Copies of this chain bind each other. A is one copy, B any other.
Amino acid sequence: MKLPVGLNNLVEFLQRLPGVGQKNALRMAFYLLQTPDSFNNELAETISELKKKVLVCQECFSVSEDEICEVCQNKNRNSQIICVVERADDVLTIESMGGFEGKYHVLGGAINPLNHIGPENLRINELLNRVIKNEVLEVIMATNLSLEGEATALYIKSKLNKNVKVTRIGTGLPMGADLGYADMATLQRAMDGRREI
């Protein structure tokens, strides 16, 4: 039995979202068949408006409602400590832990030759410029503890002036882990146990 085209299209779209398999996509699609029209229309509008409403901070490249994000605008935060992460959602993860008083820098990924992502595809030059401009004292490398994240951390370390202290979050997070799925206690340990590279 073939699925009706409209339903089939939706299932195919939903399956491309991260963490959504075929069964799940089918379940969501059938759910959307019985929700009120208003819910479907609002969901559709939110998706198509998403990129217009959510901006990228021109300072740290995290998500923002304005040109410069809340964290970068906050004068109480220390501009001389920058925590470097791969993705914007990693900023949220560290912020939800609380206690970090510095600022962030979102690279937009990690060096990954197999996927043709080199240093030039990441916001590394922007980081190096910020470090000079703000006279940064410490760069905390909080890229994922994968091969790519480690390589990116080492690459950035090699590009920074020797006077800048470069640290790496360490204790607690197991190798191969994804930052987004760390529990808060582990993340706190990793932040406390950062080591110089």
Contacts and interface: CB of A to CB of B under 8 A. Distances in A.
A181 B4 contact: no
A43 B6 contact: no
A164 interface: no
B50 A47 contact: no
Contacts of A4: 53-55, 63-65
Size bracket of the A interface = 35 or more
A115 interface: no
A40 B20 CA distance: 16
A6 B37 CA distance: 20
Nearest to A56: B33
Contact of A32 (B7, B31, B50, B70): B50
Contacts of A6: 46, 49-50, 52-54, 65
A26 interface: yes
A33 B89 CA distance: 11
A173 to B, nearest CB: 17
Interface of A: 1-7, 9-10, 13-14, 16-20, 23-24, 26-33, 37, 39-55, 63-65, 70-71, 87-89, 91-92, 95-96, 180-181
Given A10-B50, A40-B47, 11 more contacts: A1-B70, A4-B63, A6-B65, A13-B39, A13-B42, A17-B32, A19-B28, A23-B180, A26-B89, A33-B51, A44-B44
